[in-house]
Every structure is written in C-alpha cells, then in structure tokens.
Structure 1
C-alpha cells in the first residue's frame, strides 16, 4: 500500500455515531468513510438486511456489498 493510501483518513477512520444512524434508524448516509461503509454493511448483514437495501443506505453498488460479504466468508473460514 502506498503512503498516500496509508495516510488517507477515509480508509482508516469511522464515526460510530454515523454508523448507528444508518444501522439502527435505517437512514441513508453516503458521506460515510470507506471503513464506515464496511462497518455499517457488516452490522446490517448481521441484521439480515437485504443486499440492495444495504447498498442504497451506504451509497455503494450491490456488487460491492456482495464482494464484501464474500471476502468476509473467506476470512471467517
């Protein structure tokens, strides 16, 4: 990973309060950081939220959510 990527704030920080609004209140937030999106997607998956709704809430494509879920299954195995 390049120095630019390591220093980019959006890749390494997440606001748990913003994530809670998305997960608990189901309010869309397309301003989440990259890490925030991943955390929100994981928490929504734990609540059995459909992929298309997760994608809409966090502002990513459904393919991205499917990819994240597949990556998590691989790392859990």
Structure 2
C-alpha cells in the first residue's frame, strides 16, 4: 500500500475534543483530519461563523468552506 493510501485512512479519523476546542474556544487547529475539519466547519456554520473565520480556524482556503457548505446544502435537499 502506498503512503498516500495509508494516509488516506486517517482522513476519516475524528477527535471530538479537538473539534470542541475549535468550535467552543475558537482556538485554531490546522492539524485536524479532513473528517474533523468538515464536522467543525458544519458546527461553526450552525453558529453563524463567517466563511473567513471558519477558514482561518481550520487552516483551509475560504473557497473550501464555500464548497463544503454547498455540498451540505445539496445533501440536505
């Protein structure tokens, strides 16, 4: 198995405490896994956090946050 495939398995790992620090305390964490970033982004969005603030807290580009929000709306519809 390649290193890329091995790393991909960790994308879905979620640490609820790390997510809570970002969402509750607004402490940036750029080391979150992809799965944790998505969950944190959803929770921050529910709290009416701006796209720029979500991007800064999670260490992603604002366009990524817009894409995630669009995908979540499409899934909910």
Instruction: Give runs of ≥4 in structure 1 deviating > 4 Å.
Output: none
TM-score of the aligned structures, taking structure 1 as reference length:
0.89
1:76 is aligned to: 76
Unaligned 5+ segments in structure 1 are none
Q: CA RMSD in A?
A: 1.3
Residue 63 in structure 1 maps to residue 63 in structure 2: yes
Unaligned 5+ segments in structure 2 are none
TM-score of the aligned structures, taking structure 2 as reference length:
0.89
1:18 is aligned to: 18
Residue 44 in structure 1 maps to residue 32 in structure 2: no
